[in-house]
């Protein structure tokens, strides 16, 4: 049933839009929670950030008003208000302008808070930009190529990560996985003590499952359907685990939203073969 549901492009795009919106909502709520950091006395004042080379375009004083604490507050509130409008609007003449405004606001928030951002925020930007390109050139309903693009992006991200882990002996034997999960920077403080007591063999097994799962990502288009389901189940469990254990909450929504694109790619490759 799920397989058949995701053979239809608008279903995949709608699913992706809902999960993307949830990820953006979470990101905005985190910014609002830490809004004090964006004031001149905070940890991330604009005067400090604009020293970075990539902000060369925004060094002029006239841009200051766009990146202060108040504008950050305003941008995040507007983004939160736009999200239900974006998901619920069905008509193309209303849906597309909302998407463009949402993308521009997300760019501005990203520029201002890039030090707080992670790969999930970058993938959110890619999804929004991809949707703008696709919907401006081919319209809302005929999104086929963009789905292939998202599926390939997901495969590249998993494969690259798996390849790096496979190269490191300490990732293969589980040492790095355990150490990452018990550091205060990546780990969850509530689970630190209990994870520290878990045998290294468990982490070795988990680490090897993760490496094999990530490396096998490029096989997903040609896997038998039953194994594809197993692959997607591991992917979902992996993102839930990173969200809960490593507090990377955005990853759950962004990457889960992209998983149906793998089903679509699988369906079309199977039909072709």
Contacts with other proteins, residue ranges (CB under 8 A): 30, 33-34, 37, 41-45, 48-49, 51-55, 57, 107, 110-111, 114-119, 121-123, 125-126, 129-130, 133-134, 137-138, 145-146, 149, 152-153, 156-157, 160-161, 164-165, 168, 171, 176, 179-180, 183-186, 189, 247
Shortest distance, position 33 Cβ to other proteins, whole Å: 7
> Considering beta carbons, is residue 215 or 229 the nearer one to other proteins?
215
**Is residue 174 classed as helix, strand or coil in its secondary structure?**
coil
Shortest distance, position 117 Cβ to other proteins, whole Å: 6
Residue 143 phi/psi, 5° resolution? -85, 85
CA dist., res. 91 & res. 217, Å (int): 36
Q: What is the CA radius of gyration of the chain?
A: 20
CA dist., res. 270 & res. 221, Å (int): 8
CA dist., res. 147 & res. 145, Å (int): 5
- Report residue 61 as tokens: 């004083």
> Considering beta carbons, is residue 218 or 229 the nearer one to other proteins?
218
> Considering beta carbons, is residue 4 or 170 the nearer one to other proteins?
170
Shortest distance, position 178 Cβ to other proteins, whole Å: 8
Shortest distance, position 232 Cβ to other proteins, whole Å: 18
CA dist., res. 198 & res. 87, Å (int): 43
Q: Where are the beta strands (DSSP E) in the chain?
A: none
> Considering beta carbons, is residue 86 or 171 the nearer one to other proteins?
171
Beta-carbon count within 10 A of 256 CB: 20
> Considering beta carbons, is residue 63 or 149 the nearer one to other proteins?
149
For residue 218, give every residue at least 6 positions away whose Cβ sits within 8 Å of its Cβ, in sequence order, or none. Answer: 155, 159
Shortest distance, position 1 Cβ to other proteins, whole Å: 30
> Considering beta carbons, is residue 49 or 72 the nearer one to other proteins?
49
Identify the DSSP state of 83.
H
Shortest distance, position 157 Cβ to other proteins, whole Å: 5
CA dist., res. 193 & res. 242, Å (int): 17
Shortest distance, position 34 Cβ to other proteins, whole Å: 6
CA dist., res. 239 & res. 256, Å (int): 7
CA dist., res. 130 & res. 138, Å (int): 12
> Considering beta carbons, is residue 21 or 135 the nearer one to other proteins?
135
């Amino acid at each position: 049933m799920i397989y058949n549901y995701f053979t239809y492009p608008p279903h995949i795009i709608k699913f992706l839009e809902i999960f993307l919106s949830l990820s953006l909502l979470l990101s905005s709520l985190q910014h609002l929670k830490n809004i004090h950091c964006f004031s001149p006395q905070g940890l991330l004042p604009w005067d400090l950030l604009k020293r970075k080379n990539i902000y060369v375009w925004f060094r002029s004083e006239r841009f200051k008003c766009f990146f202060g604490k108040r504008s950050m507050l305003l941008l995040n509130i507007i983004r939160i208000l736009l999200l239900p409008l974006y998901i619920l609007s069905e008509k193309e003449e209303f849906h597309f302008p909302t998407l463009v405004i949402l993308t521009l606001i997300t760019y501005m928030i990203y520029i201002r808070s890039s030090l707080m951002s992670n790969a999930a925020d970058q993938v959110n930007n890619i999804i929004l930009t991809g949707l703008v390109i696709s919907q401006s050139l081919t319209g809302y309903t005929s999104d086929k190529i963009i789905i292939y693009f998202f599926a390939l992006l997901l495969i590249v991200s998993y494969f690259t990560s798996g390849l790096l882990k496979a190269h490191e002996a300490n990732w293969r034997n589980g040492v790095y996985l355990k150490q990452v999960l018990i550091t205060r920077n990546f780990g969850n403080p509530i689970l630190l003590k209990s994870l520290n007591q878990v045998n290294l063999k468990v982490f070795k097994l988990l680490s090897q499952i993760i490496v094999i799962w990530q490396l096998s990502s490029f096989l997903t288009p040609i896997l038998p359907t039953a194994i594809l389901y197993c692959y997607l189940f591991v992917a979902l469990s992996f993102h839930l685990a990173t969200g809960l254990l490593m507090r990377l909450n955005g990853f759950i929504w962004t990457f889960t939203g992209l998983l149906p694109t793998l089903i679509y790619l699988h369906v079309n490759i199977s039909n072709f073969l």
